[in-house]
Structure 1
Amino acid sequence: MQKNILKSGIELSELGLGCMSLGTDVQQAQKIIETALEAGITYFDTADIYDKGVNEEIVGKILHQYQQREDIVIGTKVGNQLQPNGDMVWNPSKRYIKDNIKHSLRRLGLEQLDLYMLHGGTIEDPLDETISAFEELKQEGLVKAYGLSSIRPNVIRYYLENSQIEVLMSQFNLIDNRPEMLLNEVREHGVKLLARGPVFKGLLTKNYEQALAQKFAKGIFDYDAASLKDTVSALHDIEPELTALSFSYLRSFDVLGSIIVGASSVQQLQENVAQYNKEIDSININKARSIVKDLNYTQHLK
């Protein structure tokens, strides 16, 4: 599988496993992770809030069995603080970030984390304080690299210009192509993109009609329900394997670090791997791109 290299030298498999959907059954999760490894997936993405920390524990426990391998990369996220009453509050403070890394490392069974990401962010955050927390964690040897998970252009641009982030995670697919407006800036700063939501809640899969009815009945973004249905149907006419089409579209960008796919079953993961391995020619990718709307972020610009 293609590996894409970050500024720090970390190599990400171009298809990464988003671990949020693994569930809490360790045996089932192990089957999925082993299937991923067999397919060449070496990047595993989790977060401290997934199943209230249990996800990190499961991922850490399973991958610990493969600790002799040097190609496995684990990324997790911080910023959403769980309160005793079960509520979630946003906390991008240096104190919280530097304290929370200890808990994530313990749950993952690691002494050093490959990739630590801020799990959101607003322009009202203490941005320089947050950045300094990640920089100090690098200096202390607790993380190899850090990044940002966000769809807010003003936050993204601040981090690109004022930090040493190595990855930007954003929802990105043929329909939600808003990240395209930022790709030149991302490229200029040597940052790699982690594309989450590549199949857009099932809209870019063989089950697109079901997704249209159940999840997009009112449309989305600049699409009303009718225009969205017409557009996805037109994409299907170009290439019936919509997931392969979306993956190939993402792979056409040189800033891509990894396409993050979730999986709650071995079969689901195997299907995603098969779609990743099916390359669509550039003519059809360009055709597909020409019939979807050019979307731009309209909020959080300043």
Structure 2
Amino acid sequence: MLVNFRRTRSGLEFSEIGLGCMNLPENYQLASEIMDSAINQGINYFDTADLYNKGKNEELIGKFLKEHHKRNDVLIGSKVGNEFNFEDDDVKWNPSRNHILNSVKESLRRLKIDYLDLYMLHGGTMEDDKDETIDAFNTLKNDGLIRAYGISSIRPNVISYYLKHSDIDVIMMQFNMLDNRPEMLTDTIAEHDVKILARGPVMKGLLTDHYSEVVDKKFSKGILDYSKDELTQILSKAAMDSPLTESTMSYLLNHPVASIVCGASSPDQLQTNLAHYEQIKNSAANSTRDYFKNIDYQDHLS
């Protein structure tokens, strides 16, 4: 499959569709099959985090990269900022310089690699010492342990600070036709020559062919500004135009997106994602977005 690529200002070239590794099966053989198939079909971005299964997700990817000699075929992105231990479920937010400088060593060890292509702050608040955090990422970049850095955040005030005061390459945020709140930020993001990693493109299954059963099972109380009935009605109308997953991918690629990060917990799910991408990558954007409400962020604005 021919996958298109998008370049960030640090020179990283992301496949327009990436592999979200958080939900990879713990069974190594099955996870390996998914990762190998993704690479063979043109996907070059693997997204993980130290918090995912307390480092085991990174270890799973690391084992695959080493055994299959695939390090040079992929961009590896991980995340930092959540301090956890292996004895209980307690997680503390820690964006300090020391934590970041120490955590990257552990992520590299688990991934069995010498450097990360992308390292992201896994959250962030206005109360953080953001300059200290930025200094830590710049140190890692200067030392060659990371090629670029970014943040994973949906807080407009935090995003604004990093756009103005750092050299971030990317911002990861939930972004799709239903949760279109990032639209209020895309112009500013583009003006700073930063790109978006779009997570949650199918909104937990709502923007798939199975939307009706997903609404019943997961969204009986609705979501965002939608009641359950509104969701069902709008998704039903939108699905008549074109498959919802294709529509939301087409929609995202018309924004400053570096990669649409799609999770895959099975080979079939990976193939479904790629099939939808194949259908839309060379087609014009459709108007399905017009069915959905315009939604803005309400919190963390200043």
Shift of 1:33: 0.4
SS of the residue corresponding to residue 174 of structure 1 reads coil
Q: In the alignment, which of 94, 99, 102 is matched to residue 99 of structure 1?
A: 102
1:259 matches 2:252: no
Looking at structure 2, the residues matched to 69 and 25 of structure 1 have their Cα atoms a distance apart, in angstroms, of 21
1:187 matches 2:190: yes
Q: Which residue does 2:272 correspond to in 1?
A: 271
Q: Which residue does 1:136 correspond to in 2?
A: 139
Shift of 1:230: 1.0
Q: Which residue does 1:298 correspond to in 2?
A: 298
* Equivalent pairs, count: 298
Per-residue CA deviations over 1:70-128 (Å, capped at 9, x if unaligned) read: 34100000011103433011110111000000000000111111000000111111111
Whether the aligned pair in 2 keeps the contact of 1:23 and 1:55 (CA below 8 Å) is no
SS of the residue corresponding to residue 164 of structure 1 reads coil
Q: Which residue does 1:23 correspond to in 2?
A: 25
Q: Which residue does 1:222 correspond to in 2?
A: 225
Q: Which residue does 2:75 correspond to in 1?
A: 73
RMSD: 1.3
Looking at structure 2, the residues matched to 206 and 145 of structure 1 have their Cα atoms a distance apart, in angstroms, of 36
SS of the residue corresponding to residue 210 of structure 1 reads helix
Looking at structure 2, the residues matched to 153 and 74 of structure 1 have their Cα atoms a distance apart, in angstroms, of 26
Matches within 5 A, 1:27-42: 27-42=29-44
Q: In the alignment, which of 81, 86, 90 is matched to residue 87 of structure 1?
A: 90
Identity over aligned pairs, percent:
50
TM-score (norm 2): 0.96
Looking at structure 2, the residues matched to 51 and 177 of structure 1 have their Cα atoms a distance apart, in angstroms, of 29
1:116 matches 2:104: no
SS of the residue corresponding to residue 20 of structure 1 reads coil
Per-residue CA deviations over 1:40-97 (Å, capped at 9, x if unaligned) read: 0010000001111011011011122454663410000001110343301111011100
Matching residue's letter, 2:100: I
SS of the residue corresponding to residue 161 of structure 2 reads helix
Looking at structure 2, the residues matched to 274 and 289 of structure 1 have their Cα atoms a distance apart, in angstroms, of 20
Looking at structure 1, the residues matched to 181 and 237 of structure 2 have their Cα atoms a distance apart, in angstroms, of 20
Whether the aligned pair in 2 keeps the contact of 1:17 and 1:44 (CA below 8 Å) is yes
SS of the residue corresponding to residue 278 of structure 1 reads helix
Per-residue CA deviations over 1:174-218 (Å, capped at 9, x if unaligned) read: 100110110011101111100000000000011100111111111
1:162 matches 2:165: yes
Where does structure 2 lack aligned partners over 5 or more consecutive residues? none
